[in-house]
């Protein structure tokens, strides 16, 4: 199960379960010639961070191997599926553990058959099939 945490991190990078987070601006910030005044609330869109090619090479590709590098450390704020800094979700590790346990048993005992594999996709707020990927769950012998 060495590869599974990398797949989970890549899934979290590609499709967050939280669309965005609000943050309060602590000091005036100049962003591309615009000033965001202290005290304003800003919306941080996870997808814009996780698909930024300046942070993640080939951001639109599903590459669990991007997490392979030993001691792989990202710059603060560049991987935020559970928030960041002092506001990181306290259940992040537990959530990833539960996902790992579920996937371990699911992948050993079941397979999915997508019902509409060539169906249309929507791209906002995240890329996914329009039918939400309807599938048949088949128990393996």
Binding residues for heme: 89
Residues 6+ apart with CB under 8 A from 32: none
Find the radius of gyration of the CA atoms of the chain: 18
Binding-site annotation: residue ranges? 89
> Is the alpha carbon torsion for 1, 102, 116, 20 positive or negative?
negative
Q: Find residue 45's DSSP bridge partners.
A: 20
């Amino acid at each position: 199960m060495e590869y599974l945490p990398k797949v989970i991190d890549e899934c979290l990078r590609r499709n967050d379960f939280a669309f965005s987070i609000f943050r309060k601006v602590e000091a005036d910030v100049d962003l591309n010639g615009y000033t965001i005044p202290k005290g304003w609330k800003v919306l941080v869109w996870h997808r814009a961070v996780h698909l930024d090619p300046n942070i993640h090479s080939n951001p639109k590709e599903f590459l669990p191997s991007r997490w392979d590098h030993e001691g792989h450390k990202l710059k603060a704020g560049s991987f935020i599926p559970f928030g960041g800094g002092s506001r990181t979700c306290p259940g992040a590790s537990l959530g990833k553990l539960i996902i790992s346990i579920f996937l371990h048993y699911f992948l050993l005992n079941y397979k999915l058959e997508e019902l509409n594999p060539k169906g249309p996709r929507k791209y906002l707020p995240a890329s996914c099939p329009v039918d939400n990927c309807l599938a048949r769950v088949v128990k393996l012998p």
